[in-house]
């Protein structure tokens, strides 16, 4: 059986784990990192489109102006930022028909505006730290569906809110907290399209390339295809068990794991009750992100709505073969099969009936055994599952992930911040561990 002893071990080579490895190594500690996949990057996953040479992000991609840590690491490691294309053309689907002029028919426009003004007001209140709406009803504990019923949203407004939900809350609207939407909507001060303007850059060679360079520069020993199955923490150290044999004995451990992947690891002694319950429950993020190649779609077109399937699409850039690369988001809710050519082509034609569908590609994060979901989405009735306090470090063990980070959970920036905190905690423990 192989022994991988070091000062510290890190589980997971996503942004959180790479940051922890980088920070610990910088302080002169030896670090061994175990990654279950055959690649680094985790939910940052850029690869070639199935048919063609274009490198596309199948997981996290957009970098906002707030993501200072990502920008700093990108600069340090020579990773260029690519600006996103500005939106020049707009299309909406109101649930009944494709609209080229406005999100709703002239007859439905007043009701649509009333709902969206009300959502914008709630967005501002919630972002300003108000716990209640103007009528004294709490924002917390309410699902998106219940919130939309509360504000008597019109069908056309629901169609648009759901579309933006696929890139924000991204869970079942019946069970996921509406506050996920109100928070994200705040990036545009209540204007959903402002949220898109916030998504300013992507990393040119891909997110995985940045993680790779962070890890290479850290000097940590990285083991791919090394799924951790057990963690035993004792008074003299932590033993880490790897599937198929192999162990490590270390002083401290950063478990840089997605919330929904924690339950697969046996902890001895068992995790505290609250953490066990949180790991068992998990978060609800289940977006479908899909790339479509098509002809006849203008780069810079944004199309939203429809209430099912792919509800949000941006024609992002021209592919090497001259077709247009369109990124789309929907919810994995059973009605639409992202693996089915007919379903995907149908989603394209709903927004672009004049287009020619060429090909598509995607990654199934919901059934990915090392993610079990997309980015964090809080259950309306149990936000504590993903709260940073639930995953507070103790003794020799610190958790790190964007899913339960202190600030702006869900973003790559949050993963990096959580890796910094976890390593800082272990380093502070110093000789006492
Ligand atoms: C479709 C999609 C779109 C997104 N869009 C954006 C965006 O535009 N901008 C943005 O900032 N963020 C976005 N995100 C979120 C962002 O990608 C994540 O928040 C971030 O990458 C998470 O990093 P992490 O290190 O916390 O977790 P992960 O990247 O998931 O890393 C965890 C690692 O742990 C490994 N692992 C799991 N179990 C084990 C085990 N038992 N043993 C060993 N290793 C294990 C996994 O394989 C993985 O590599 C998106 C995410 C998805 C899925």
Q: How far is ligand 1, taken at its centre, from the CA of residue 289, in Å?
A: 14
Q: Looking at residue 53, what is its pLDDT? A: 85
Cis check for the bond before 269: say yes or no (omega within 30 of 0). yes
Nearest Cα neighbor of 165 from 25, 326, 330 is 330
Torsion angles phi and psi, residue 286, rounded to 5: -150, 55
Pocket of ligand 1 contains residue 256 by CB under 6 Å:
yes
At residue 363 the predicted structure's pLDDT band, cuts being 50, 70 and 90, is very high
Look-up: residue for tokens 């936000």?
383
CA 430 to chain centre: 33
Q: What does the pLDDT average to over 324-352?
A: 96
Does this model's pTM top 0.95? My answer is: yes
| pLDDT at position 52 | 78
The alpha carbon of 36 and the centre of ligand 1 are apart by a number of angstroms equal to 13
Distance 38 CA to ligand 1 centre (A): 14
* 415 within ligand 1 shell (Cβ under 6 A): yes
Beta pairing partners, 247: 3, 241
In this predicted structure, the answer to whether residue 51 has a pLDDT above a threshold of 90 is no
Of 88, 89, 92, 84, the closest CA to residue 61 belongs to 84
Ligand 1 near 10 CB (within 6 A): no
Q: Which residue in the block uniquely carries the two structure tokens 């004792």?
A: 234
Hey, which residues does 399 pair with through a beta bridge?
A: 255
In angstroms, the CA 156 to CA 427 distance is 53
Please, what's the b/e burial string for 168-180 (b: 16 or more CB within 10 A of its CB; e: otherwise)?
bbbbbbebbbbbb
Residue 93 has pLDDT above 90, yes or no: yes
Probe ligand 1: pick from 43, 61, 206, 422, max atoms within 8 Å of CB? 43
Please tell me if the CB atom of residue 365 comes closer than 6 angstroms to any atom of ligand 1: yes
Taking the centre of ligand 1 as the mean of its atom positions, its distance from the CA of residue 417, in whole angstroms, is 14
Q: What is the pLDDT of residues 193-245, one digit of tens each?
A: 988 989 999 999 999 999 999 999 999 999 999 999 999 999 899 999 999 99
DSSP character at residue 379: B
User: Would you state the pLDDT for residue 80?
Assistant: 97
Residue 413 CA, closest ligand 1 atom number:
11
For residue 407, what are the CA distances in angstroms to 67, 388, 418? 11, 9, 9
Tell me, using a 6 A CB cutoff, whether residue 291 lines ligand 1.
Answer: no
Superfamily of segment(s) 8-43+206-281+379-432 = FAD/NAD(P)-binding domain (3.50.50.60)
- In 3D, which of 410, 400, 408 has the Cα closest to residue 22? 400
- Ligand 1 atom having least distance to the Cα of 418: 26
> Is the pLDDT confidence value at 433 over 90?
no
Cα gap 73→355, rounded to integer Å: 39
> Which has the closest alpha carbon to 27: 222, 220, 239?
220
- Domain spans in the chain, listed from the N-terminal domain onward: 8-43+206-281+379-432, 108-190
Residue of 14, 82, 202, 246 to test ligand 1 pocket, by largest number of atoms within 8 Å of CB? 14
Q: Is the shortest distance between the CB of 11 and ligand 1 below 6 Å?
A: yes
E strands within 119-251?
201-203, 221-223, 228-233, 238-242, 247-250
Rounded Cα distance between 196 and 164, Å, is 9
Q: Quick one: pLDDT at residue 430?
A: 78
Q: Is 386 in the pocket of ligand 1 (CB under 6 A)?
A: no
- Indicate whether residue 375 lines ligand 1 (CB < 6 A): yes
Cβ-count burial of 362 within 10 angstroms (0-12 exposed, 13-18 middle, 19+ buried)?
middle
Q: How far is the CA of 226 from the centre of ligand 1 (A)?
A: 17
Q: Name residue 289's beta-bridge partners.
A: 329
């Amino acid at each position: 059986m192989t022994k991988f002893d070091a000062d510290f071990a890190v589980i997971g080579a996503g942004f959180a784990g790479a940051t922890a490895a980088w920070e610990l190594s910088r302080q002169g500690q030896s670090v061994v990192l175990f990654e279950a996949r055959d690649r680094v990057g985790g939910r940052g996953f850029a690869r070639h489109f199935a048919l063609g040479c274009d490198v596309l992000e199948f997981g996290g991609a957009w970098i906002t102006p707030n993501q200072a840590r990502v920008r700093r690491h990108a600069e340090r490691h020579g990773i260029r930022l690519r600006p996103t294309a500005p939106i020049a053309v707009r299309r909406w689907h109101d649930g009944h028909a494709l609209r080229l002029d406005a999100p709703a028919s002239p007859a439905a426009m007043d009701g649509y505006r009333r709902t969206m003004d009300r959502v914008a007001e709630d967005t501002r209140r919630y972002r300003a730290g108000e716990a209640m709406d103007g009528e004294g009803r709490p924002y917390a504990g309410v699902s998106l569906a219940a919130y939309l019923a509360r504000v008597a949203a019109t069908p056309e407004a629901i169609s648009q809110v759901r579309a933006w939900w696929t890139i924000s809350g991204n869970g079942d609207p019946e069970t996921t907290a509406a506050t996920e939407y109100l928070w994200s909507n705040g990036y545009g001060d209540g204007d959903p399209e402002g949220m898109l303007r916030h998504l300013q850059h992507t990393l040119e060679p891909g997110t995985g390339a940045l993680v790779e360079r962070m890890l290479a520069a850290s000097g940590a020993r990285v083991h791919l295809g090394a799924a951790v199955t057990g963690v035993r923490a004792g008074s003299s150290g932590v033993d880490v068990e790897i599937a198929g044999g192999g162990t490590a004995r270390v002083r401290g451990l950063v478990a840089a794991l997605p919330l929904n992947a924690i339950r697969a690891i046996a902890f001895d002694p068992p995790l505290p009750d609250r953490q066990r319950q949180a790991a068992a429950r998990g978060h609800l993020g289940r977006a479908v992100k899909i790339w479509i190649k098509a002809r006849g779609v203008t780069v810079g077109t944004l199309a939203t709505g429809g209430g099912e399937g792919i509800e949000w699409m941006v024609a992002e850039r021209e592919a090497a073969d001259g077709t247009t690369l369109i990124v789309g988001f929907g919810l994995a809710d059973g009605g639409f099969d992202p693996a089915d050519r007919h379903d995907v082509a149908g989603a394209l034609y709903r927004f672009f009936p004049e287009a020619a569908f060429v090909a598509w590609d995607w990654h199934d994060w919901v059934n990915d055994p090392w993610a079990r979901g997309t980015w964090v989405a809080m259950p309306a009735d149990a936000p504590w599952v993903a709260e940073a306090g639930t995953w507070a470090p103790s003794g020799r063990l610190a958790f790190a992930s964007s899913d339960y980070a202190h600030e702006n959970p869900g973003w790559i920036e949050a993963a990096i911040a959580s890796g910094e905190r976890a390593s800082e905690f272990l380093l502070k423990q110093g000789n006492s561990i």
